[in-house]
Amino acid sequence: MNVTNKVNLCKVVEKVNNFLLPTSSRSQCLPFYVGNGQVGILRPHVVLLLQEHPEIFSVSNTAVHLNNKYATCEERTKVMKEFLESVREAGKLNEALKGWRNEFYSIRHSMSEPVLFKMERSACSPFGVVTYGCHINGYTYKNGEMMMWVAKRSSTKQTYPNLLDQFVAGGLTSGLGFRECAEKECQEEASVPEIHLRNLKSTGTVSFVHEDERGVQPEVEFIFDLKLPEDFVPVNADGEVQEFKLYPVSELPGMIVQASFKPNSAAIVLDFLIRHNIINPDNEPSYCYLVEMLHYPVQTFFKKFPTES
């Protein structure tokens, strides 16, 4: 398959990494620190909001720090929860907090370090903290041809309603392991029987820095491939999916460049196509660029922001 003659796949990685482009708000943002390390990226309107609360945040021209008097995970979690609830009640940060989920994400300096505090999921974008999730590619073969299951999101989803999506995906809620999260989402979103989950295979990560109306989202997705029997038909159990459709993988490059596909899921489908040699160095001139942009080092990116002396 000559991918290049069909689609410009650079659109996929540039859409999901749009915060890295010159048109983003990147040059106007400030780093957000907890202790001695950066945990987030703040846009100007969020900085102004935090400036109104000097008892919680210390704001300078170069950075914003959570007050060091909040020294434990429990203290930080409590003050951030109270602050965000007051912001939500006041009708601020509406683009993000309208998707309030009462679901907590663990915030760290890096994945290998202890949890600094826990934060309401919908508030992660305004604070630009790194979030983690699990995406599962469900695939099978029909008459020798590789096929992939694609979901269409519910019209009532808080984010990206009605868009095409991964077979199964979910954010890493605080307290869950990665495989535990993947299995849970497979059962809730697609009613995958436990016997099929034995085929669930961890295949690495995809990472990027995205910006939208809610804020900045440095994101690391842990990817799983799940080979399913030819006769398996997914059934949604939690109301988050309108329908599932099975597509030949040869059609996916043309689908993932469309606005109808959720940006981060499009990038993860692209990663699948590269790993399974559907897209390779001989049929895609931008192969190296695509691979690099699918694995953007978000922690290194944090280090590029100025620090206070």
Q: Which two tokens stand for residue 299?
A: 């922690």
The SS3 assignment for 236 reads: coil
The model's pTM is 0.91
Cα separation, 105 vs 122, in Å, equals 9
DSSP element (H, E) containing 221: strand 215-227
Say how many residues make up the chain. Answer: 309
* Residue written as token pair 């210390």: 58
Last residue of a domain, one of 89, 112, 129: 129
Residue 300 zone, left/alpha/beta (φ > 0; ψ -120 to 50; rest): alpha
Cα separation, 95 vs 213, in Å, equals 6
164, 36: one domain: no
| 308 within a domain of the structure (yes/no) | no
Domain that holds residue 61: 26-129
The pLDDT tens digits for 157-213 are 878 899 999 999 999 888 889 999 999 999 999 999 999 999 999 999 999 999 999
Cα separation, 214 vs 50, in Å, equals 16
| 305 within a domain of the structure (yes/no) | no
49, 143: one domain: no
16, 33: one domain: no
Last residue of a domain, one of 81, 114, 129: 129
Q: What is the pLDDT of residue 305?
A: 54
Virtual torsion, Cα 143, 144, 145, 148, nearest 10 deg: 90
87, 16: one domain: no
2 pLDDT higher than 70: no
| 67 within a domain of the structure (yes/no) | yes
Cα separation, 167 vs 234, in Å, equals 9
Closest C-alpha to 253, from 21, 16, 19, 10: 10
Q: Which two tokens stand for residue 210?
A: 């995205």
291, 179: one domain: yes
144, 184: one domain: yes
Last residue of a domain, one of 129, 153, 168: 129
| 32 within a domain of the structure (yes/no) | yes
CATH number at residue 195: 3.90.79.10
DSSP element (H, E) containing 138: strand 131-142
307 pLDDT higher than 60: no
46, 107: one domain: yes
Q: Quote the number of domains for the chain.
A: 2
DSSP state of 99: T
Q: What is the pLDDT of residue 110?
A: 86
CATH number at residue 30: 3.30.750.160
254, 281: one domain: yes
